[in-house]
């Protein structure tokens, strides 16, 4: 089990999940987005039980994406866990870096 974590701007969450889903071979759709968007509203990164976890089960891989809003900010904490290949680890880390920028 490997984990890649960091933060992104909350406004970038949908794009982050759509791209990560492509890398694992999962068809992330509008229903997935509605589920995640609603659940993330109640998260809190300062509480151990304040995280929301969403599974992306694809043709190539399965990952769990942990999400929690930063209290008082527009940042969203993200943790991608699973049996990550080195390539998927780099891709997830790159997505985190890209969606934390501007």
Does the pLDDT value for residue 102 go beyond 70? no
Q: How many CB atoms lie within 10 A of CB 20?
A: 23
Q: What is the pLDDT of residue 36?
A: 98
pLDDT of 67 reads 98
Structure confidence at residue 59 (pLDDT): 86
The angle that helices 30-40 and 13-24 make with each other, rounded to 10 degrees, is 130
Model pTM above 0.75: yes
Range 51-65 average pLDDT: 94
């Amino acid at each position: 089990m490997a984990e890649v974590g960091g933060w992104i701007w909350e406004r970038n969450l949908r794009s982050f999940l759509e791209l990560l889903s492509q890398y694992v071979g999962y068809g992330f759709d509008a229903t997935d987005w509605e589920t995640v968007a609603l659940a993330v509203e109640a998260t809190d990164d300062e509480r151990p039980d304040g995280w929301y976890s969403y599974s992306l089960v694809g043709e190539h891989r399965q990952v769990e994406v942990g999400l929690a809003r930063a209290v008082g900010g527009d940042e969203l904490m993200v943790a991608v866990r699973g049996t990550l290949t080195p390539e998927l680890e780099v891709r997830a880390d790159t997505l985190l870096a890209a969606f934390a920028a501007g």
